[in-house]
Chains A and B, each alone.
Chain A
Amino acid sequence: MPMTENGEFRPLIVAFCCNWCSYAGADLAGSSRLSYPADVKIIRVPCSGRVNPMFILRAFERGADGVIICGCHPGDCHYTSGNYFARRRMTLLFSMLDYIGVENGRTRVEWVSAAEGAKFSATMNEFVEKIKSLGENVRLGDLRCKD
């Protein structure tokens, strides 16, 4: 169980950020020193449309407590339409995950532009709080190769 010394639950959160908007938004959050918990680890993808559902399943299988996908705002996708595909794909995936016990609150799609450092930070803070309130992800645990 990922706890710190004082017994506080520290979730493991994977964030997929598109290179053009959200990753840049995360950079801006950084250069603006807008903090969010270290529990969030970002993986850079060219576009939110690149995120394969398998990546999310894999993350949960490996012990992630929450997965968030960030892309450009609707209409602003660097590749025109990738974020729309992501949204459609993820809506389906999330409802399926919910069905098998990975609650809807553990998954999220958010639009963050390159200029929205503050939004990125706020979103991550909020998401971490949400995951903390949901506690450790125990579903998909049987798939995990853990001792």
Chain B
Amino acid sequence: MKYSYYPGCTLKNKAQDLDLYARRAAVALGFELVEIPEWQCCGGVYPLGTDEIASKLSSVRALNYAKEQGQDLITLCSACHHVLKRVNDDMKNVADISDRANNYMQLDAPYKGETTVVHFLEVLRDRIGFDELKKKVVNPLTGKKIGAYYGCLALRPGKVLEFDDPENPQIMEDFIRALGAEPVIYPYRNECCGAYTALEDKNIPAKRTKMIFDSADGFGADMLITACPLCMYNLNKSEADSKVPVYYFTELLAEALGVKEGVEQ
């Protein structure tokens, strides 16, 4: 199965690990990530204004490209996933945005939200299946106690993203189980890390990440996994005493599948 792959800005730079290990894992799991040529940055945050059209167009281009390829669009980064799904929802359900975006774009055929956007984890859950994944694990992460850190963008708004239950998600926990490790459920796994305030007010992420680490550590997590480079940054910058190592979920996936040192496709 081939997917149109939207890596996003950070996976080509500071979060190359997230991208690299995902590609290797995909090969091992039998699906292909075909990078969308000339993709443009999604902007990192979804433009909330109902009258903001231009800032949604980069997403529309990627979505329309996938449509033309007849492929689903796959993402890894929580933020890209969030923005692309929401813009896609607008194109499908909000006539005003859809009409105006199509007027700008002048595509061969108007884009009406036909593409299905999937997160890499959703592919594992819904297409491969965690039971199948489990069978392909060669280095089970037995004995590791891993806390899933979802953050906010992967889950909310639940109605649009339909990624998982926004208040009690299971997808990353099931993923951790599939890799042979033990998931640690802690209440702040879906609380915001402080996000972009990191640029000008380090205080906010410092407080947020301390709370997150304290909570995860309190429930016995040895490490956290995330799908978001910004969460990764904020968590890594934390000076909490309770800090535990943080990994991209793809790195553990590649490790479990025995392709961490493998060859890129």
Touch between chains A and B, by CB atoms below 8 Å: no
- Point out residues on A near B: beta carbons under 8 Å: none
Q: Interface residues, chain B, CB within 8 Å of chain A?
A: none
